[in-house]
Amino acid sequence: MDFRYSEEQLALQDTLQRFISRDYDFAHRRALVGSPLGFSAEAWARYAELGLLALPFPEEFGGLGGTGVDVMAVMEQVGQGLLLEPYVSTVVLCGGLIRDAASESIKQSILPRVAAGQLQMALAAYEAAGRYDLAHVACAAVEAGGGWVLSGRKAVVLDAPSANYFLVSARSAGQVGDTEGISLFLVARDAPGVTTLPYPTQSGGRAADLQLTDVSPEALIGVPGRALGIIERAVDSAIAALCAEALGIVTALNQATLNYLKTRKQFGVAIGAFQALQHRMAEMIIAAEQTRSMAIIAAVHVDLDDGAKRRRAISGAKAYVGQAGRFVGQQAVQLHGAMGVVDDLIVSHYFKRLTMIDMSLGDADFHLARFSDALGAEA
């Protein structure tokens, strides 16, 4: 066993850390949140230079052949810096789907451009009333004249406003909720019949609702009717990435809170002198270590082909990290007192991002249910 990052991974983290402290401070981030794009195009170009956008792709498509742990190393820094760029959507979710399921020609046309920072993508998988169920697909795919026609709606598509392409799940057979009969399509954002309704998100990002009216997709990705498995796998990878992002945030929040306990004086002493607060801080540090372990478990399982084993590890990690992040986020705010609830300090923004990580791609309850259902199946 080896629980350390490699030299290369540490060097990459170091580079990102320097980039964040030099070019992506809190004031800069706030300006980006309020800007029309909502993130930094310059930062995106920088990620391309650093190879981050090529990380999980095979070398033959301009990639670096990286692993889940490489992505974890990056995402931990994304969390620390509260970076806003659509890395998970473009590289992990959609890039991963193209890598795992698309034809050679689609891979050739898409992945090098992703790696070069030239295009962005968003996964349109969730629908109204479906909650976190990826099989809740009503959006219709009909075969016609040698191609496909898509009609329907997709809800809260993260990072959709800036995406050049959407990967859209649509039902080519069966009923809403069936695991079979779901197909995946590559859709250009400017394709006729595509309309978007964009809005900001609670943690400074962007999302949109999608309306598809008789849309001709660019391509079918994978086997018709059999897309749920590949979508779940990509979502599992994204969940592992979110766990690593949460780890970065929890680590940063603990550091900020510890500094505050040492410097904030009340009753003539630093508030860190109070045992009640010392114990709370000790619990927060334990939660961070447990979060790191769970993020590692998630990262090493994303490349597993055994779907049941992978899902159990990923759902377990997401459920645990959701709870641990909730605890650390709430307590970091509490220990900062009123300073914890002001917009001017980064603490409240870390707290909001942790909360929204929990609410994304299945919350702690959803994943606890998946984990414990699998436990029932073992018996």
Partner 1 sequence: MDLNYTPEEESFRAEVRAFLAAELPAEIRDKVNLGRRVRKDDMVRWQKILYRRGWGAGMWPKRFGGAGWSVVQQHIFDEEAAAAGAPPQLPFSLRMVAPVLMAYGNAAQQGYFLPRIISGEDWWCQGYSEPGSGSDLASLRTTAERRADHYVVSGQKTWNTLGQHADWIFCLVRTGSEGRPQLGISFLLIDMKTPGVSVRPIITVEGEHEINDIFFDNVKVPLENLVGEENKGWTYAKFLLGHERTNNAGIGNCKRSLKRLKKIAGTQMMNGRPLIEDPRFRDRIARVELELMALEITNLRVLSAEASESRAPGPEVSMLKIKGSEIIQQLAELQMHALGHDALPYIREALELDWSAPPLLAEHYPEFAPPLSGQYFNLRKTTIYAGSTEVQKNIIAKLILGL
> Which one among 27, 276, 377, 379 touches partner 1, defined by CB under 8 A?
276
77 binds partner 1 (CB under 8 A): no
259 binds partner 1 (CB under 8 A): no
Query: Tokens for 298?
Result: 């998630």
Strand-strand pairing, 165-171 and 121-124: parallel
Binding span for partner 1 by CB under 8 A among 69-77, 142-150, 231-239, 352-360 = 352-360
Q: How far is the CB of 265 from partner 1 (least distance, A)?
A: 8
35 binds partner 1 (CB under 8 A): no
266 binds partner 1 (CB under 8 A): yes
Q: Nearer Cβ to partner 1, position 1 or 276?
A: 276
DSSP, residue by residue, 85-97: S-HIIIIIIIIHH
Binding span for partner 1 by CB under 8 A among 13-21, 103-111, 154-162, 225-233 = 154-162
Mapped onto helix, strand or coil, the DSSP state of residue 165 is strand
Q: Nearer Cβ to partner 1, position 188 or 356?
A: 356
Pick from 162, 83, 72: which is nearest to 117 by CA? Answer: 162
CB 57 within 8 A of CB 115: yes
> Which one among 282, 337, 373, 375 touches partner 1, defined by CB under 8 A?
337
> Which one among 51, 300, 352, 374 touches partner 1, defined by CB under 8 A?
352
273 binds partner 1 (CB under 8 A): no
Q: Looking only at residues 179 through 238 of this chain, which bind partner 1 when binding is defined by CB under 8 A? A: 195, 197, 199-203, 207, 209, 211
What are the backbone angles phi and psi of residue 128, rounded to the nearest 5°? -55, 140
Q: Nearer Cβ to partner 1, position 133 or 218?
A: 133
CB 168 within 8 A of CB 217: yes
Pick from 89, 114, 172: which is nearest to 138 by CA? Answer: 172
> Which one among 31, 128, 144, 223 touches partner 1, defined by CB under 8 A?
128
377 binds partner 1 (CB under 8 A): no
Residue 212: in which H helix or E strand, if any?
Answer: strand 206-215
d(CA 367, CA 320): 9
Q: How far is the CB of 159 from partner 1 (least distance, A)?
A: 12
d(CA 75, CA 82): 10
333 binds partner 1 (CB under 8 A): yes
342 binds partner 1 (CB under 8 A): yes
365 binds partner 1 (CB under 8 A): yes
Q: Nearer Cβ to partner 1, position 60 or 344?
A: 344
CB 85 within 8 A of CB 24: no
153 binds partner 1 (CB under 8 A): yes
Q: Is the dihedral of CA 349, 351, 357, 362 positive or negative?
A: negative
Mapped onto helix, strand or coil, the DSSP state of residue 145 is coil
Q: How far is the CB of 200 from partner 1 (least distance, A)?
A: 5
CB 24 within 8 A of CB 79: no
Pick from 205, 13, 231: which is nearest to 126 by CA? Answer: 231
Q: How many residues does the chain have?
A: 379
Q: How far is the CB of 223 from partner 1 (least distance, A)?
A: 26
Residues that bind partner 1 (CB under 8 A): 126-133, 153, 155-156, 158, 177, 195, 197, 199-203, 207, 209, 211, 265-268, 271, 274, 276-277, 330, 333-334, 337-338, 340-344, 348, 351-352, 355-356, 359-360, 363, 365, 368-369
